[in-house]
Structure 1
Amino acid sequence: MRKLALNDEILLKIEKPARYIGNEVNSVMKDPEKVDIRFAMCFPDVYEIGMSHLGIQILYDMFNRRKDTWCERVYSPWPDLDKVMREKNLPLFALESQDPIRDFDFLGITIQYEMCYTNILQVLDLSGIPLRAADRGESFPLVMGGGPCTYNPEPLAPFFDLFYIGEGETVFYELLDAYKEYKKAGKSKKEFLERAAEIPGIYVPCFYDTAYKEDGTIASFRPNNPHAKEKIEKQVVMDVTNTYYPDKPVVPFIKATQDRVTLEVQRGCIRGCRFCQAGMLYRPTRERDVEFLKNTAKSMLDSTGYEEISLSSLSTSDYSKLKELLEYLIEDCSERKVNISLPSLRIDSFSLDVMSKVQDIKKSSLTFAPEAGTQRMRDVINKGLTEEVILEGAGKAFEGGWSRVKLYFMLGLPTETEEDMKGIAHLAEAIAKRYYEIPKDQRHGKCQIVVSTSFFVPKPFTPFQWAGMFRKEDYLEKAKIVKEEIKAQLNQKSIKYNYHEADVTVLEGILARGDRRVAEALETVYKKGAIFDAWSEYFRYDLWLEAFEEAGLDPEFYTLRERPLDEIFPWDFISIGVSRKFLEKEWERAHKGEITPNCRMKCSGCGAAAYKGGVCIEG
Structure 2
Amino acid sequence: MRVFASSFKSWRMLEETHDVKEPHGLIFPLAVLGAIGAPYGLEMVAEEFTQEPVTAFDSVFISVMDSRCMIEGGKSFRDWGMPIRRQDRDGRWPLVWAGGQGLHNPLPMADVFDLYVHGDAEEPLPELLEAWDAVGGDRERFLDRAAAVESVYVPSRHVLGRDRIRQAWAKDISITLKHSIQVSHNGQRRVEIARGCQFKCGFCSLGWRSPVQENSAAEIIPVIEAAPKIVHLQAGDAESHPEIGVIRAALRQHGGRDNGWTGRLDTTLSNPDARVPGTKRYAFGVEGVSARLRRAVGKGYLTDARLIRDTVDILNKTEERFYGRAAWHLISGLPMERRNEVNDLKRVIRGINDGLHGTTRRNLALHWQPFQPLPGTPMQWFGCGGGVLEKARQCKDLEKLPRLRVTQATGRRDYMAAATTILSRATPAGGARMLEMMAEWDRPELATLREVAEADEYDLPIDQPLPWDVFDYAYPREVLERAYRATVKKLQGRNETATPEPEAASCSTTTNHTEPNDQPITLEEYGAALARTR
**How far, CA to CA, are the matches of 2:61 and 2:374 in structure 1?**
23
With over 3 angstroms needed to count, the CA separation of the structure-2 counterparts of 1:156 and 1:389, relative to structure 1, is: same
Q: Which runs of 5+ in 1 are unaligned?
A: 1-36, 77-93, 210-220, 224-228, 302-306, 529-539, 596-619
Q: What SS does the corresponding residue of 1:553 show, helix, strand or coil?
A: helix
One-letter amino acid of the structure 2 residue matched with residue 202 of structure 1: V
Counterpart residue number, 2:370: 455
**Alignment map for 1:505-520 (pairs within 5 Å):** 505-516=417-428, 517-520=430-433
1:176 corresponds to 2:129: yes
Deviation for aligned residue 1:493: 6.8
Counterpart residue number, 1:390: 307
Contact 1:106 1:142 in 2 (8 A): yes
Match of 1:151 among 104, 115, 122: 104
Deviation for aligned residue 1:285: 0.8
Q: What SS does the corresponding residue of 1:425 show, helix, strand or coil?
A: helix
With over 3 angstroms needed to count, the CA separation of the structure-2 counterparts of 1:420 and 1:206, relative to structure 1, is: farther
Deviation for aligned residue 1:115: 3.7
Q: TM-score, normalised by structure 1?
A: 0.69
With over 3 angstroms needed to count, the CA separation of the structure-2 counterparts of 1:160 and 1:264, relative to structure 1, is: same
**Alignment map for 1:191-590 (pairs within 5 Å):** 191-207=141-157, 222-223=161-162, 229=163, 231-241=164-174, 243=175, 245=177, 247-249=179-181, 260-281=188-209, 283-301=210-228, 308-332=230-254, 334=255, 338-348=256-266, 351-355=268-272, 357=273, 360-361=276-277, 366-385=282-301, 386-402=303-319, 404-435=325-356, 438=357, 443-470=358-385, 474-483=387-396, 486=398, 494-500=405-411, 501-516=413-428, 517-528=430-441, 540-541=442-443, 544-545=444-445, 549=448, 552-553=451-452, 558-559=456-457, 561-590=458-487
Deviation for aligned residue 1:402: 4.7
One-letter amino acid of the structure 2 residue matched with residue 319 of structure 1: H
Deviation for aligned residue 1:250: 5.5
Q: Which runs of 5+ in 2 are unaligned?
A: 13-21, 493-534
Deviation for aligned residue 1:580: 0.9
Contact 1:146 1:166 in 2 (8 A): yes
Aligned length: 475
Contact 2:361 2:402 in 1 (8 A): no
Q: Deviations over 1:219-247 (max 9, x none)?
A: xx635xxxxx2x21111012323x56553
Deviation for aligned residue 1:264: 1.4
Identity of aligned residues (%): 21
Q: TM-score, normalised by structure 2?
A: 0.80
One-letter amino acid of the structure 2 residue matched with residue 408 of structure 1: H
With over 3 angstroms needed to count, the CA separation of the structure-2 counterparts of 1:300 and 1:553, relative to structure 1, is: same
One-letter amino acid of the structure 1 residue matched with residue 490 of structure 2: G
Contact 2:263 2:282 in 1 (8 A): no
**How far, CA to CA, are the matches of 2:23 and 2:70 in structure 1?**
15
Structure with the greater alpha carbon radius of gyration: 1
Counterpart residue number, 2:3: 39
Q: CA RMSD in A?
A: 3.1
Deviation for aligned residue 1:508: 2.1
**How far, CA to CA, are the matches of 1:322 and 1:183 in structure 2?**
46
Contact 1:151 1:574 in 2 (8 A): no
One-letter amino acid of the structure 1 residue matched with residue 342 of structure 2: M
**How far, CA to CA, are the matches of 1:505 and 1:127 in structure 2?**
26
With over 3 angstroms needed to count, the CA separation of the structure-2 counterparts of 1:318 and 1:550, relative to structure 1, is: closer
Q: What SS does the corresponding residue of 1:519 show, helix, strand or coil?
A: helix
Deviation for aligned residue 1:146: 1.1
Contact 2:72 2:435 in 1 (8 A): no
Deviation for aligned residue 1:459: 0.2
With over 3 angstroms needed to count, the CA separation of the structure-2 counterparts of 1:379 and 1:448, relative to structure 1, is: same
**How far, CA to CA, are the matches of 1:480 and 1:65 in structure 2?**
54
Contact 2:176 2:190 in 1 (8 A): no
Q: What SS does the corresponding residue of 2:110 show, helix, strand or coil?
A: helix
With over 3 angstroms needed to count, the CA separation of the structure-2 counterparts of 1:143 and 1:448, relative to structure 1, is: closer
Q: What SS does the corresponding residue of 2:485 show, helix, strand or coil?
A: helix
